[in-house]
Amino acid sequence: MKKDYTVVGKNIRKLDAIEKAMGAATFTTDIKLPGMLYGKVLRSPYPHARIVKIDTSKAEALPGVKAVATYLNTPRVKFNTSATSTFTIPPLQPVEDQYVFDSVVRYVGDEVAAVAATSKKVAEEALELIEVEYELLPTVFDPLAAMKEEAPSLHHCEAGKNVPGEKIHIEMGDIELGFAEADYVFEHTFKLPVQKQAQMETQAAVAQVSVDGKVTVWSTTQTPHPSRRILATIFGLPYSKVRVLNPPYIGGGFGVRIGLSAKAEPIALALAMLAKQPVKVVYDRKEDFIASDTRHSGYVTVKTGVKKDGTFTARKIMGILNSGAYCSWSAETPGVLGAMGLSIYYCPNQMYDGHSVYTNTTPAGAMRGFGNPQGMFAVDSQVDIIAEELGMDPMEIRRKNIMRPGLPWVLPYPCQSSGLEECMDLGAKAIVWDQRGKQNQDSDTIRRGIGMAIGTHVSNAWPFCGDYSNAYVTVQQDGSIQVASGVPDMGTGTITTLSQMAAEVMGIAFGQVGITFADTESTPFEIGSHASRTCYASGTAVVAAAQDARKQVFEYAANMLEVTPGELDIENGIIYSTLTQEKNISLGQVAMEAHLRGQQFIGVGRIIPQNAPPYLAHFAEVEVDTETGKVRVTKMVAAHDVGKAIHPLIVEGQLEGGLAMGIGYALSEEIKYDDRGRQLNNGFHKYMLPTAMDIPELEAIIVEAEDPTGPFGAKGVGETGLVATAAAIANAVYDAIGIRFFEIPLTEERVYRALKERK
Amino acid sequence: MQKKILKFKLNGELMELLVSPSDTLVDVVRDKLGLTGTKKGCGKGECGACTVIMNGQSVNSCIVPAMQAMDAEVETIEGIGTSDKMHPLQETFIDYGAIQCGFCTPGMIMSAKALLDGNLSPSRLQIKETIAGNICRCTGYVKIEQAVLAAADKLKASKDK
């Protein structure tokens, strides 16, 4: 491939931007079909109860009501709202523990019934007419309590009391020997909060059933193909008779809809089948909070053995995560926590044990980082503790221990690239690391501090989970090309990036590329948008498809030009011989000539991705008001090894957005429950996510240590922005006030209490 | 409840329609008049996705009773530019990478427009305060602030000509 790219690496105008800026972009919540009904859901007010009796007759009698769905008239097929049925590879089995509606409710917000009516108001009125008699069951809210013998069982579990799926065990070297070799051993336990994706568009779906039974579902899913499989399975339909698509835009995701959009799709479809009319289900914001996956809260313990010179000899991590009432991604998330937490540093003796535990709270599932931010808050808080105990600079202890290409690690693929040390050096320079510890006078009540933390992540889910991509690149008769990929663009710039790659390989202008995406009917199977994979994995498939088409074009053109295919190249849509420049022809001419002879160039890309580690170093500068406990981040620097930035502006956007979400995780975002299992923070005014006022100067630094496995060298970038943000901020707070926090968020209250206790 | 006639100007065009007193302005604009550019993110005036400009002021249209728009001039994202001649904010939002999922974008642009309509030299802090009621979960706000600053410069330059 050419080194001087004409399209890749350029900040081209994003393909979705004009529509979005003009208010012309269509989202699921915008869809209105002829005869469309509005669906609303009755949710459990109790954290654990059996439905003894349910009477829907009054609701059904209300004028305008067209269908009422309960566990009595919907499929009794178990599933998982998350796409585990597609992702899980034998011998592991996907955990399927949900029905569309069940006779037992397991958290406040769990689905009891749904109504389809001619208006939202009538549907809401009808919900109040449904009479339900509950028998209350015992509850448990904390994962440690839920593991105990006397705790109520939420589901049948093989691996242990209330443990969904399997317990994860990862091991390398000899952990006992590693601790024996250590001069010091450190062990700390950290507590992590419930964070919410809080994507701007709530969970939503519109379902339509044609008179001959074909199903179409417009949805906010991040994974149309896997979501189609879940729906087809629940409703007993051939996959080919179910179409799932984005319309085509989604108002954010951050992991909350890898699979179904909570239960918006199956509820809309069940109602549409009963009513024989299209049905739209849009969660309101409160429903999105209480009845749609969150990030996993839980406990992470890190035990590290270290030599006097700072060399790590052993590291053991243990993770107990709160699954909530259903499994969702709770079998997988503890694995990523452990695998990533162990892999950022080289350490010859490592071990991880972790799992999730069911409780009567909102299910936890995928959220940006997928266990990694939880693990890295613990790991990189502890690394700073160790550095201080040994009298080392936090930069130096990390430099001594970071993972480097070629070294062994626990991951089942090799580390082939790393720009981590460069990230650390550039970040340290930008934050002025030398200022650390020198910014405060004894009398200062506002104290400043600087901290850092590092991390890595994945570029897709292989080989932990099933992960593959297909794509088509079809040359049109005029020489323009049509790309087809099943991957959504949830705001991450995916369609722009994929089109850039296709244009680069085909040697044509960006404006000559059209793209079809996020539609199961017009694209081949593709896993979807998750695990920082779209640029890396979907991109690899598009590149393979474009290379296939290019090869076909060159073979055809070589005949026309009477040269060999191997000597051909293409630039700006002109195919030419690299040996005899005057032998040239436009791609359009070749495509039209082929068309007249009954042929089209159809490139197919079928790939199983490899994997590659992106790297990051985060630096935070904070001010802590010792009179109020208020922590303010005044600057954040994030230096990221992204392999190759296909579109630098999009990459910066991913990093900055991740940083903002990470600042929220560190300082303010948390969902708490009362003693009856009800969320105390179930709306934007109660859930303190960052606004523009809370975001400091953000400096994203792009480092390009190209990975041989990525398209044009690219690695994953979607999640890395918040992997180490909380740890960096907590470390900066320690530098400012000398107090170490083992729990986030660092709210004014928590910091104030700690300051007061110290006095 | 008895329906009432609502008359108001939407993007310069006179509208007259029957609404329920319980309808909100966002419901009228999105559901009855079919302008879906204005988004609904919370229905409680907490996220700013539904921001429109009413009589020169930015408002959360999800908590404005529709009848309050009687005789008012309402501007939505659809009314401020065309694809041939975009509003400078629309151009700078695109060019500065201020748009990711795009769900907050219309409300964000309308909040910013209400600011720039009265002040072509806003400070960074004024911009932050202006959009503090508009939640964006994708961008981290920095590129949005840069886009608003750049749009102000563009508007100033075209005014000075």
Is pLDDT of A3 > 70?
no
CA dist A321 and A95 (Å) reads: 16
A709-713: average pLDDT: 98
Mutation for B interface: A11, A22, A284, most B CBs within 10 A = A22
A251 CB neighbours in chain B (<8 A) are: 39, 41, 101-103
First to last CA, chain B: 54
Q: Note the pLDDT tens digit of each residue in A341-399.
A: 999 999 999 999 999 999 999 999 999 999 999 999 999 999 999 999 999 999 999 99
Residue A201 is given by DSSP the state S
- A716 within some domain: yes
Domains in chain B with CATH codes: 4-79 (3.10.20.30), 88-160 (1.10.150.120)
Task: Using a CB–CB cutoff of 8 Å, tell me whether B143 touches chain A.
Answer: yes
* pLDDT category of residue B42 using cuts at 50, 70 and 90: very high
Q: Which conformational region is residue A620 in: left (phi greater than 0), alpha (psi within -120 to 50 degrees), or beta?
A: beta
Q: State the smallest CA–CA distance between residue A667 and chain B in angstroms.
A: 15
Residues of B in contact with A250 (CB under 8 A): 101
Does A223 have pLDDT greater than 50?
yes
A710 and A588 in a common domain:
no
A452: part of which helix (H) or strand (E)? strand A446-456
Q: Read off the pLDDT of each residue in A26-38 and give the average, rounded to a whole number.
A: 98
> If you measure CA to CA, which chain A residue comes closest to B80?
A22
From A469, A478, A476, A466, select the one nearest A523 (Cα to Cα).
A469
Pair (A633, A743) in one structural domain: yes
**What span, in angstroms and rounded, lies between the C-alpha atoms of B6 and B72?**
10
A121 plus A211 within the same structural domain: yes
A420 with A560, same domain?
A: no
Give the C-alpha separation, A562 to A38, whole Å: 63
Q: Does A115 share its domain with A245?
A: yes
DSSP A479: S
Q: Tokens for A34?
A: 């002829």
Residue A434 is assigned to a structural domain of this protein: yes
Size of interface A-B (CB pairs under 8 A): 172
Contact B99 A254 (CB under 8 A): no
Give the minimum alpha-carbon distance from B79 to chain A in angstroms, rounded to a whole number. 9
Tell me the mean pLDDT in the region A267-283: 98
Mean pLDDT of chain B: 97
Reduce the DSSP state of residue A249 to 3 states and report it.
Answer: strand
Query: Residue B132 and residue A691: Cβ atoms within 8 Å?
Result: yes
Question: Which residues of chain A are within 8 Å of residue B44 when distances are taken between CB atoms?
Answer: 285, 683-685
> Which residues on chain B are in Cβ contact (under 8 Å) with A17?
93-94, 99, 102
Q: How far is C-alpha A568 from the chain's CA centre?
A: 41
Q: Which tokens hold the place of A49?
A: 């109860």
CA neighbor of B61 nearest in space, from B78, B73, B74: B74
Cα-to-chain-centroid distance, residue A172: 27
Domain boundary among A276, A291, A306: A291
CB neighbour burial string for A503-512, b if at least 16 within 10 angstroms, e if fewer:
bbbbbbebeb
A12 touches chain B (CB under 8 A): no
Rounded to an integer, the average pLDDT of A619-630 is 98
* Site from B3, B94, B142 to mutate, A interface, most A CB atoms within 10 angstroms: B142
Same domain, A205 and A129: yes
> A86 pLDDT exceeds 50?
yes
Report the amino acid identity of residue A725: T
ipTM of the complex: 0.98
Interface of A with B in 632-671 (CB under 8 A): 649-650, 652-653, 656-661
Query: Is it the case that residue A2 has pLDDT exceeding 50?
Result: no
Q: How far apart are CA A401 and CA A455, in angstroms?
A: 13
Helix (H, G, I), strand (E, B) or coil at A384: helix
Residues in chain A closer than 8 A to B94 (CB atoms): 13-14, 17-18, 21
Angle, alpha carbons A718-A723-A725 (nearest 5°): 115
Rounded CA separation B109/A753 (Å): 40
Is A155 a member of any domain? no
User: Would you list the DSSP string of B97-128?
Assistant: T--SS-SSHHHHHHHHHHHHHH-SS--HHHHH
Predicted confidence (pLDDT) per residue in A126-158, tens digit: 999 999 999 999 999 999 999 999 999 999 999
For residue A694, the distance in angstroms to the closest alpha carbon of chain B comes to 9
Residue A117 CA to residue A126 CA, distance in Å, equals 8
Strands A584-586 and A574-577 come out as: antiparallel
Q: Which of B:61-100 have CB within 8 Å of A?
A: 76-78, 81, 83, 86, 90-91, 93-95, 97, 99-100
Write out chain B residues lying below 8 Å of A200, CB-based.
39, 41, 47, 49, 101, 103-104, 135-138
Backbone φ and ψ of B60, nearest 5°: -80, 105
Q: List phi, psi (to 5°) of A171.
A: -150, 145
Q: Please indicate if any CB of chain A lies within 8 Å of the CB of B111.
A: no
B113 in contact with A, Cβ within 8 Å: no
**What residues in B contact A698, CB-CB < 8 Å?**
140, 142
| Strands A312-324 and A298-306, sheet pairing | antiparallel
Q: How far apart are CA A461 and CA A533, in angstroms?
A: 8
| CA of residue B98 relative to chain centroid, distance | 15
* Cβ distance of A490 and B101 shorter than 8 Å: yes
Q: Which domain holds residue A241?
A: 31-137+197-291
Q: What is the C-alpha separation between A744 and A297, in angstroms, rounded?
A: 10
pLDDT for the residue numbered B118: 97
* H/E segment holding residue A42: strand A37-43
What sections of A442-538 are H helices per DSSP?
494-506
CA distance B106 to chain A (A): 6
The proportion of chain B whose per-residue pLDDT surpasses 70, expressed as a percent, equals 99
- Judged by a CB distance cut-off of 8 A, whether residue A756 touches chain B is no
Q: For residue A54, what are the CA distances in angstroms to A68, A134, B83? A: 11, 9, 54
Chain B contact for A201, CB < 8 A?
Answer: yes
Pair of tokens at residue B68 = 């309050």
Question: Are residues A130 and A216 both part of a single domain?
Answer: yes
In a domain, A322, yes or no: no
CA dist A240 and A377 (Å) reads 44
Q: Which residue has the tokens 């994953």?
A: A716
Nearest CA distance, A515 vs chain B (angstrom): 18
Confidence of residue A581 (pLDDT cuts 50, 70, 90): confident
Say which of B44, B103, B136 has its CB closest to residue A201. Answer: B103
CB distance A261 to A247 below 8 Å:
no
Q: Which of A610, A648, A662, A618 is nearest to A636 (CA)?
A: A618
**B100 and A653 in contact by Cβ < 8 A?**
yes
Strand pairing category for A37-43 and A279-282: parallel
d(CA A156, CA B105): 45
Cross-chain Cβ contact B138/A198 below 8 Å = no
**Inside any domain, residue A661:** yes
Tell me, what DSSP letter sits at residue A149?
A: T
Residue A338 is assigned to a structural domain of this protein:
no
Q: Is residue A563 part of a domain?
A: yes
For position A1, what pLDDT does the model report?
Answer: 44
Residue A60: both structure tokens together: 């059904």
Question: A177 — phi, psi (to 5°)?
Answer: -60, -40
Does the CB of A529 have a partner CB in chain B at under 8 Å? no
Domain of A38, CATH number, reads: 3.90.1170.50
C-alpha distances in Å from residue B72, one per residue of A619, A650, B67:
49, 39, 10
Q: Which of A291, A325, A358 delimits the end of a domain? A: A291
Distance from the Cα of A718 to chain B's closest Cα (Å) equals 11
Whole-angstrom Cα distance, residue B119 to residue B107?
18
Per-residue pLDDT tens digits for A204-218: 999 999 999 999 999
Domain tally, chain A: 3
- Greatest CA separation found in chain A? 87
Cβ contacts of B30 on chain A, cutoff 8 Å: 30
DSSP A127-148: HHT-EEEEEE-----SHHHHTS
Residue showing tokens 């589901």: A155
Report pLDDT digits (tens) over A733-743: 999 999 999 99
pLDDT of residue B161: 75
Asked if A24's CB is within 8 angstroms of B37's CB, the reply is yes
Alpha helices by DSSP H, A344-490: 372-390, 394-401, 420-431
Please tell me whether residues A500 and A575 are part of one structural domain. Answer: yes
- Please name the member of B78, B104, B140 whose beta carbon is closest to the beta carbon of A656: B140
Amino acid letter at B25? L
- The whole-angstrom distance between residue A689's C-alpha and the CA centroid of its chain comes to 18
Is the pLDDT reported for residue A276 higher than 90?
Answer: yes
- If you measure CA to CA, which chain B residue comes closest to A199? B137
Looking up residue A507, the CATH number of its domain turns out to be 3.30.365.10
Average per-residue pLDDT for chain A: 97
How many C-alpha atoms does A78 have within 13 Å on its Cβ side?
11
Mean pLDDT, range A272-301, rounded to an integer? 98
Query: Sign of dihedral through CA atoms A392, A395, A399, A401?
Result: positive
Judged by DSSP in three states, A248 sits in coil
CB proximity list for A151: less than 8 A, separation 6 or greater: A140, A145, A161, A162
Residues A130 and A254 grouped into a single domain: yes
Q: By the CB < 8 Å criterion, does A21 face chain B? A: yes
Cβ under 8 Å to B: A residues 32-91:
32
**Tokens 């975002």 identify what position?**
A669
Spatial distance between the Cα atoms of A32 and A22, rounded to a whole number of angstroms: 20
Q: Are residues A569 and A421 in the same domain?
A: no
Q: Which helix (H) or strand (E) holds A355?
A: strand A350-358
Query: Do residues A355 and A321 touch, judged by C-beta distance below 8 A?
Result: yes
Minimum distance, in Å, between the CA of residue A98 and any CA atom of chain B: 27
Domain boundary among A266, A291, A316: A291
Question: Which residues in chain A touch residue B39, judged by CB atoms under 8 angstroms apart?
Answer: 27, 29, 200-201, 251
Task: For residue B46, give how far its alpha carbon lies from the nearest alpha carbon of chain A (Å).
Answer: 6
Question: Is there a contact between A238 and A16 (Cβ–Cβ < 8 Å)?
Answer: no
Lowest mean pLDDT across A2-16, A93-107, A258-272, A646-660: A2-16
Averaged pLDDT for residues A403-413: 97
Same domain, A203 and A89: yes
Q: Report the distance separating Cα A134 and Cα B58, nearest Å.
A: 46
Q: What is the rounded average pLDDT of the residues A297-322?
A: 98
Domain shared by A741 and A676, yes or no: yes
- A579 close contact with B: CB closer than 8 A: no
Token pair 């630098």: residue: A648
Residues 681-720 of chain A whose Cβ lies under 8 A from any Cβ of chain B:
683-685, 689-693, 695, 697-698
Residue A542 within any structural domain of the chain: yes
Q: Of the candidates B44, B109, B131, which has its C-beta nearest A285's C-beta?
A: B44
User: Using the beta-carbon criterion (under 8 Å), do A23 and B141 form an inter-chain contact?
Assistant: no
